[in-house]
Amino acid sequence: MTSVVATTNKNSNASLVYAFLYKLVEVFTEYFKELEEESIQDNFVVVYELLDELMDFGFPQTTDSKILQEYITQQGNKLEVAKTKVPTTVTNAVSWRSEGIKYKKNEVFIDVIESINVLVNANGSVMSSDIVGCIKLKTMLSGMPELRLGLNDRDKGKTVAMEDVKFHQCVRLSRFESDRTISFIPPDGESELMSYRINTHVKPLIWIESVIEKFSHSRVEIMVKAKGQFKKQSVANNVEIRVPVPSDADSPKFKTSTGHAKYVPEKNLVVWSIKSFPGGKEFLMRAHFGLPSVETDEMEGKPPITVKFEIPYFTVSGIQVRYMKIIEKSGYQALPWVRYITQSGDYQLRTNS
């Protein structure tokens, strides 16, 4: 495990410090793939150079790794001095995109990804639920394009009430504040344009009922029923239902109506995997474990059942991209592509055991 630490002798802005440390890790990871002792040793000259640009006298400076990569490279010694100049981007108002980018085919890929967070009580009532969505871009556009994104959140009759929206720094916040227009000059390549939170009562897309019976000194019997509570036309992929078992359980036996179950002793879990889970269907899994006759004194927590899944071509909130306007002074035509996906976020169901 790698820890990053910051020290201060004044009343510093704590959230800035943490946000910076996370950014630092992000930059190092993008440069060195893995952030660990070895990668720092292997690249210590670049680390020094990066630190110089990332922070000066405790003030974070340029932390955009794409921009940094334009003038701090791992092959620094091979570069001619003359070429190493400050990209104007560093100090530009548009500090996230360099000039002179060229693509033969101008395209932008838009991914709308929604994660469902659910917390269900042991008695089956939904304690809290929300949707955290994000819109990711893969921009392959030449020059300095002006983009405008239109969503259906303001359509009449059908309101998708976004509780809170967070934007990449490229989005003109004051413009959004005044007329809800999302206008921006995109960073090149992959980026997260925006994220939003919808605080609505979501029907848990995969509903779990479980009975976990523990017979002390003898056995644990688990019955889990999973139901797809979404449209029949949709299919949830790569579903994983993780059911906690006592740490001293042994000799597992499983029976499933679909998919397969696996005991993961190091995590004290049974993982029931279902490759493809159509909407409206219901499946069953039974598990049986032995328990030692001598019990450990250690108190065990009550971990919840967690569920993982992805449902493509669909957003729970119903949010859709209405249009993406791309204007560049050279006047090229560019194509936007949109994909939707809904997936599990923090999806927890408490159990009675």
Partner 1 sequence: MTDSKYFTTTKKGEIFELKAELNSDKKEKKKEAVKKVIASMTVGKDVSALFPDVVNCMQTDNLELKKLVYLYLMNYAKSQPDMAIMAVNTFVKDCEDPNPLIRALAVRTMGCIRVDKITEYLCEPLRKCLKDEDPYVRKTAAVCVAKLHDINAQLVEDQGFLDTLKDLISDSNPMVVANAVAALSEIAESHPNSNLLDLNPQTINKLLTALNECTEWGQIFILDCLANYTPRDDRESQSICERVTPRLSHANSAVVLSAVKVLMKFMEMLPKDLDYYGTLLKKLAPPLVTLLSAEPELQYVALRNINLIVQKRPEILKHEMKVFFVKYNDPIYVKLEKLDIMIRLASQANIAQVLAELKEYATEVDVDFVRKAVRAIGRCAIKVEQSAERCVSTLLDLIQTKVNYVVQEAIVVIKDIFRKYPNKYESVIATLCENLDSLDEPEARAAMIWIVGEYAERIDNADELLESFLEGFHDESTQVQLQLLTAIVKLFLKKPTETQELVQQVLSLATQDSDNPDLRDRGYIYWRLLSTDPVAAKEVVLAEKPLISEETDLIEPTLLEELICHIGTLASVYHKPPSAFVEGSRGVQHKRLPARAGSGESAESPDVGQSGPAEAPPAVIPSQGDLLGDLLNLDLAPPTATIPSVQPSMQMGAMDLLGGGLDSLMGDESDTLGGDIGGSPSMGAGLGAAPAAMPAALGSAPAVGGGLGDLFDLGGGVGMPTGAYVAPKTVWLPAMKAKGLEISGTFARRGGIIQMDLSLTNKAMSVMTDFAIQFNRNSFGLAPAGPLQVLTPLSPNQTIDVSLPLSTSGPVMKMEPLNNLQVAVKNNIDVFYFSCQYPLSLLFVEDGKMERQVFLATWKDIPNDNEAQFQIKDIHLNSDAASNKLQGSNIFTIAKRTVEGQDMLYQSVKLTNAIWVLAEMRIQTGNPNYTLSIKCRAPEVSQFVYQCYELVLKN
Nearer to partner 1, 256 or 353 (CB): 353
146 binds partner 1 (CB under 8 A): no
Nearer to partner 1, 305 or 334 (CB): 305
Compute the least distance from the CB of residue 314 to partner 1, in Å. Answer: 22
String marking each residue 194-233 x if it binds partner 1 according to CB under 8 A: xx-x-x----------------------------------
Check residue 244 and report its DSSP letter. Answer: E
Nearer to partner 1, 31 or 230 (CB): 31
Please spell the DSSP secondary structure of 268-296, one letter per residue: TEEEEEEEEEETT-EEEEEEEEE--SSPP
57, 73, 79, 180 from 67: Cα distances, Å: 21, 11, 17, 29
264 binds partner 1 (CB under 8 A): no
Q: Pick the piece of the chain touching partner 1 (CB under 8 A) from 17-25, 97-105, 271-279, 285-293.
A: 17-25
**End-to-end alpha carbon distance in the chain:** 33
Return the residue matching tokens 């004194």: 297
Interacting residues with partner 1 between 80 and 119 (CB under 8 A):
81, 84-86, 90-91, 93, 95, 119
Interacting residues with partner 1 between 232 and 261 (CB under 8 A):
none
Nearest one of 344, 44, 315 to 204, comparing CA atoms: 344
φ and ψ of 159, to 5 deg: -105, 125
Tokens of 325: 């306007």
Interacting residues with partner 1 between 24 and 63 (CB under 8 A):
38, 41-45, 48-49, 52, 56-57, 59-63
List CB contacts of 61: < 8 A, sequence separation 6 or more: 53, 54, 55
6 binds partner 1 (CB under 8 A): no
18 binds partner 1 (CB under 8 A): yes
Number of residues binding to partner 1, judged by CB under 8 A: 74
293 binds partner 1 (CB under 8 A): no
Q: Is residue 134 helix, strand or coil?
A: strand
Tokens of 302: 């009550």
Rule CB under 8 A: choose which of 30, 122, 154, 155 binds partner 1: 122
